[in-house]
């Protein structure tokens, strides 16, 4: 008799990351060996290559480290107008993440160190941020 193992569909790390982002959070993992904190989508520890980790859901708030303003939206971003690709440091950690902040026209509107928060996950653009 043939039996097929039927397993529940597993969410990929990326899907879990998206679900957390929709809750305005950032899903991270902390290496069990060296304590390094990274995004959940990173496969193995960037520092020691360990694959053992615990998952942490962090509040999706941080401060702008660097960014690039795109005044002309590339293909697929036409809905966005001008926006900034922002690298931010997640509050209370040394974890960096990047996201997409619409409505940024000039550097004066987004000083380095500005607070941003995750508000959603955009299927094309990734983390959607809002200035706070
Ligand atoms: Zn490690």
41 pLDDT band, cuts 50/70/90, is: very high
CA dihedral 59, 49, 35, 43 (to 10 degrees): 20
84 pLDDT band, cuts 50/70/90, is: very high
Mean pLDDT of 100-108: 89
At residue 105, the pLDDT reads 83
16 pLDDT band, cuts 50/70/90, is: very high
How many whole angstroms from 109 Cα to the centroid of ligand 1?
Answer: 37
8 pLDDT band, cuts 50/70/90, is: low
| d(C-alpha 44, C-alpha 54), whole Å | 12
Single out the residue of 82, 64, 70, 83 nearest to residue 128, CA to CA.
Answer: 83
Q: What are the residue boundaries of the structural domains of the chain, listed by start?
A: 13-131
Pull the structure tokens for residue 51.
């694959």
How many whole angstroms from 36 Cα to the centroid of ligand 1?
Answer: 5
How many whole angstroms from 55 Cα to the centroid of ligand 1?
Answer: 13
The pLDDT mean for the chain works out to 90
How many whole angstroms from 26 Cα to the centroid of ligand 1?
Answer: 19
Architecture of domain 13-131 in CATH? Beta Barrel (2.40)
How many whole angstroms from 106 Cα to the centroid of ligand 1?
Answer: 39
How many whole angstroms from 30 Cα to the centroid of ligand 1?
Answer: 8
Alpha helices in 1-132 (DSSP H): 13-22
Mean pLDDT of 11-30: 96
């Amino acid at each position: 008799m043939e039996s097929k193992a039927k397993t529940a569909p597993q969410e990929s790390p990326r899907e879990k990351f998206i679900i957390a982002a929709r809750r305005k959070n950032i899903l991270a993992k902390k290496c069990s060996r060296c304590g390094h904190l990274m995004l959940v989508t990173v496969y193995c520890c960037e520092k020691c290559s360990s694959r053992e980790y615990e998952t942490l859901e962090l509040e999706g708030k941080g401060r702008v480290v660097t960014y690039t303003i795109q005044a002309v939206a590339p293909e697929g971003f036409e809905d966005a107008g001008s926006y900034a690709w922002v690298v931010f440091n997640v509050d209370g950690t040394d974890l960096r993440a990047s996201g997409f902040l619409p409505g940024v026209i000039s550097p004066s509107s987004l000083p380095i160190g500005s607070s941003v928060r995750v508000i959603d996950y955009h299927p094309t653009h990734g983390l959607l941020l809002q200035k706070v």
